[in-house]
Structure 1
Amino acid sequence: MKKISVILGIIVLAFILLTYISISSTRQENKTSSIVLNMEDVKSIDFSRIDSVLVAPSTLYKANAVKKMMQGQQYRKAWSTPVRFRVLHLDTLLGGAEILKEGGGKQTHSLKLKTEGGYIYTLRSINKDPEPLVPEWARTLGLENIIVDGISAQHPYAALAVAKLAEKSNLLHTDPKSIFLPEQNALEKFNKDYGNKIYLLEHETDGGKNWTHYKNVKAILDTEDLQELKKDVGPKLNIDKSTLIRARLFDIVKGDWDRHSKQWGWVVTQKDTEYMAIPIAGDRDNAFFSVDGIIPSIISNKLILPDLQSFKEDIDYLPGLVMPFDIYFLKNTPRENFINEAKLLQGLLSNLAIEESFKAWPPSLVELDGEKIIKSIQTRRDNLPQIANDFYEIIDNRDYLTEPLKGSEDLELPSSLIGCFDCF
């Protein structure tokens, strides 16, 4: 017993030592910053004469052998690979765009824009700032780099390929474009924080003029406003469940584990007194999420964080991917609806369709990770009917919600509308 205790003690000490060696290999400053190549002084450049720039999103995630072993390989090379970005000037975007407000979640910084034609767009930072997610104990122990470095598990350009895959799947997407935003007069007070950085420019999932192909659109709403409309009109408002099921199966196929209610918008169409809401998925940051290495593998264990799952051919733990959002909108939907959408999605996502979608990436990025990602998508697609059946059963066996959806905490909703969308 004493010998076993000594061995375990040595293992624990080795783990602690390697952890600190791993995190010490990265500079102490945790801020990510893009590297604009071939330009020594970005601030001195007249970008009105330049239509594109070569940018490496971040070199913060470069790693030595110890760091790769302890914190994983992830998509480190994709983050440091130079890619050409189109230069964006707000005063020429679709006749000119004004900044409505600053936004973003816990990691992403964003600006909401309105064009002269009334369309709403969002600039979402490609580089993330996970500092708000770092718990105080991690700072105290000097382990904040474990959280910061976790961003390397996200592919910086996942959203571009996902948009093409969504198009092949007959699903709405926000049509993201990768852009470089130089400092400019139109940014006004936001120049310091937002100028000379890279973003995804995409349609907003709520508000503004209808940008979709749907006709008779009453509004584009976020989930909270959809609930408010449901409270007002009751059974006259329904959601397109078939499309939502296909969208959620699509999420599973591409390994997007973070799909809470604030990441969805709804195109609400009206015919006479009846309303139909079609889902629009936003925020595709965690598609193709890749976790390996000793520390991330421990953290992503289903007993610790069951929803945090690495994208590979097999699904680690499907119950961890079922969100309160799914219970709220899809409980009591017939099993056959799930199976039918799985078969439809299988047919739409042919090998050719999948491969064509990755032409949204430069060849240098496809060479790095494309083959592995495509193979995982194809395998999950092949297993879709079984995945759909299991997805249905997990939802069916879960209880109705007793707490509001994320983002709806401040709404005054009747208890029935908190439980599920169709309950009211």
Structure 2
Amino acid sequence: MKKLFIGLLVIIVVFVLLLYWSLSSTDMQFKRNELINIDSVESINFKDYDSVMVAASTLYDADEIKRLMQGEHYRKVWAAPVKVPVVFLDTLFGGVTIIEEGGGKQTHSLKLKADNGVLYTLRSINKDPQPLIPEFAKTLGIENIIVDGISAQHPYGALLAAKLSEAIDVLHTNPKVVFLPKQEQLKSFNAKFGNRIFLLEYETESDVNWTDYTNIIKIVDSEDLQQLKLEHGTNLNIDKQLLIRARLFDFLIGDWDRHSKQWGWAVQQRADKYLAIPIAGDRDNAFFDTDGIIPSILSNKNVVPELRPFEDDIDFLEGLVYPFDRYFLLNSPEELFVTEALHLQMVLTDDVIDEALSVWPTNIVDLSGKEITAKIKSRRDKLLEYAKGFKQEIDRQGQLDDHLKGSEDLNLPAHLKQCFDCEP
């Protein structure tokens, strides 16, 4: 027993030493992209350039110990140079106006409005995790675990997700990578947003229809959709078939972060009735790749069950079912889940998946393309099983007990808090 205790103590000590070794490589919590072959960014006139070579971030460079403890992730992809178009707000889409600064806990963003009324957003590819770092992590000096965890996100995953979405007719926000130089139009936002790369994409709420669908009266977020449901009652429904397709697609690409704030709805008028068509936004966590000792511990289903790694197989489907699913899909027949799984298996052939990699530069494909497409294909082949399990888990968890995220301030009747089509 004494030898066992000593052995366990030695393991703990070695683990702690390796942990702090891995954390010692940098004390930085945020770092911008790096321009390639440009020595003085402040003196250059970007008006003379239509594109630049840029690396998303070298913050995630790591030695062997760090890779062992915190994982390989997409470190090489983050540091790889890519060619990115340069944009100026006074000429973008004929000229855009900054509406407001936005962003979630990690993402810096600017909402833009074009002259035709279409809303766009610039979402930072570099993430700022400082708001997510708890005080105990700072006290223990382990905040780099959270900072470095961003390297598990693929900086260009949203592009591949969008390309595949087109193949299955799921609406997306049409993201493009752009470089935004410092410029007069940014005004007070220059310091925070100038000389950075962003995803430029449509907003998931708009009074102007930017989709290919006809008779769209507006594009709304989930909270406003609930408000419309109050007004129109049974005359407003969602396209459950397309939502199930979109959610099963999330399973294929390993996007585990799909709460209600990450969806928009294109509301289509059909005579005196309305149909809300889902729009998937915010693909930061598509293809989320966790390995290494620390991330593997954190992503264990008994530690952080909703943090699901992108592997060949889904080993804990329960962690992928959100209150969003229970709210919008509770009363859906199993046949819809089966039909959509079979449809995705038929449409997303090996060739379609492989050809979608064309949205990435060759060097990014070489670094991560083969591994990602192999996992998508493996998950596709098991999708019917996942679809049935998805339906069963929604039914098992049942109606919501509280407001859907983002709608806490709405004065909803009890039945509309429980699910979108629950009866009064």
Sort the TM-score into its range (normalised by shorter chain).
Answer: over 0.9
Please give the secondary structure, in 2, of the residue aligned with 1:90. Answer: coil
The one-letter code of the counterpart of 1:350 is T
Aligned to 1:127: 126
How far is 1:288 from its partner? 0.4
Contact 1:35 1:55 in 2 (8 A): yes
Aligned to 1:17: 17
Aligned to 2:72: 73
How far is 1:353 from its partner? 0.9
Instruction: Give structure 2 stretches of 5+ with no counterpart.
Output: none
Please give the secondary structure, in 1, of the residue aligned with 2:91. Answer: helix
How far is 1:376 from its partner? 0.5
Q: Could you tell me how far apart the structure 2 residues matched to 1:408 and 1:97 are?
A: 30
**The 10-residue stretch of structure 1 (307-316 or 171-180) with the greater mean CA deviation from structure 2:** 307-316
How far is 1:2 from its partner? 1.2
The one-letter code of the counterpart of 1:100 is I
Aligned to 2:321: 322
Contact 2:110 2:123 in 1 (8 A): yes
Please give the secondary structure, in 1, of the residue aligned with 2:212. Answer: coil
1:6-43 deviation digits (Å, cap 9, x = unpaired):
11111111111110000001x21211111101111111
Aligned to 2:385: 386
Contact 2:402 2:417 in 1 (8 A): yes
1:67-98 deviation digits (Å, cap 9, x = unpaired):
00000000000000001110011111111000
How far is 1:396 from its partner? 1.3
Aligned to 2:103: 104
Q: Could you tell me how far apart the structure 2 residues matched to 1:98 and 1:348 are?
A: 39
Please give the secondary structure, in 1, of the residue aligned with 2:380. Answer: helix
Aligned to 1:403: 402
The one-letter code of the counterpart of 1:15 is F
Q: Could you tell me how far apart the structure 1 residues matched to 2:184 and 2:347 are?
A: 45
Aligned to 1:367: 366
The answer to whether residue 248 in structure 2 is matched with residue 249 in structure 1 is yes
1:120-174 deviation digits (Å, cap 9, x = unpaired):
0000000000110000000001000000000000000000011000000111111
Q: Could you tell me how far apart the structure 2 residues matched to 1:275 and 1:390 are?
A: 30
Consecutive aligned runs of 4 or more in structure 1 exceeding 2 Å deviation: none
Matches within 5 A, 1:281-320: 281-320=280-319
Q: Could you tell me how far apart the structure 2 residues matched to 1:275 and 1:209 are?
A: 17
1:212-242 deviation digits (Å, cap 9, x = unpaired):
0111111100000000000111111000000
Q: Percent identity between the aligned chains?
A: 57
Aligned to 1:147: 146
1:160-205 deviation digits (Å, cap 9, x = unpaired):
0110000001111111000000001111111111000000000111
1:36-63 deviation digits (Å, cap 9, x = unpaired):
0111111111111100000011000000
Aligned to 2:53: 54
Please give the secondary structure, in 1, of the residue aligned with 2:84. Answer: strand
Please give the secondary structure, in 1, of the residue aligned with 2:200. Answer: strand
Q: Could you tell me how far apart the structure 2 residues matched to 1:164 and 1:272 are?
A: 32
Please give the secondary structure, in 2, of the residue aligned with 1:43. Answer: coil
Please give the secondary structure, in 1, of the residue aligned with 2:171. Answer: coil
Please give the secondary structure, in 2, of the residue aligned with 1:85. Answer: strand
Aligned to 1:3: 3
The one-letter code of the counterpart of 1:299 is L
Q: CA RMSD in A?
A: 0.7
The answer to whether residue 360 in structure 2 is matched with residue 357 in structure 1 is no
TM-score, normalised on structure 2?
Answer: 0.99
How far is 1:409 from its partner? 1.3
Contact 2:30 2:129 in 1 (8 A): no
Matches within 5 A, 1:146-165: 146-165=145-164
Instruction: Give structure 1 stretches of 5+ with no counterpart.
Output: none
Number of aligned positions between the proteins: 423
Q: Could you tell me how far apart the structure 2 residues matched to 1:256 and 1:248 are?
A: 9
Please give the secondary structure, in 2, of the residue aligned with 1:417. Answer: helix
Q: Could you tell me how far apart the structure 1 residues matched to 2:379 and 2:313 are?
A: 7
How far is 1:208 from its partner? 3.5
Rate the CA distance shift 1:405–1:221 in 2: closer, same or farther, 3 A.
same
How far is 1:316 from its partner? 2.0
Please give the secondary structure, in 2, of the residue aligned with 1:386. Answer: helix
Q: Could you tell me how far apart the structure 2 residues matched to 1:43 and 1:86 are?
A: 18
How far is 1:347 from its partner? 1.3
Please give the secondary structure, in 1, of the residue aligned with 2:388. Answer: helix
Contact 1:404 1:418 in 2 (8 A): yes
Aligned to 1:169: 168
Q: Could you tell me how far apart the structure 2 residues matched to 1:166 and 1:360 are?
A: 13
How far is 1:275 from its partner? 0.5
**The 10-residue stretch of structure 1 (203-212 or 260-269) with the greater mean CA deviation from structure 2:** 203-212
Contact 1:53 1:85 in 2 (8 A): yes
How far is 1:350 from its partner? 1.0
Contact 1:22 1:66 in 2 (8 A): yes
Contact 1:95 1:117 in 2 (8 A): no
Q: Could you tell me how far apart the structure 2 residues matched to 1:208 and 1:38 are?
A: 42
Aligned to 1:335: 334
Rate the CA distance shift 1:301–1:100 in 2: closer, same or farther, 3 A.
same
The answer to whether residue 223 in structure 2 is matched with residue 221 in structure 1 is no
How far is 1:368 from its partner? 0.7
Contact 2:207 2:217 in 1 (8 A): no
Q: Could you tell me how far apart the structure 2 residues matched to 1:340 and 1:379 are?
A: 19
Matches within 5 A, 1:79-118: 79-118=78-117
Please give the secondary structure, in 1, of the residue aligned with 2:247. Answer: helix
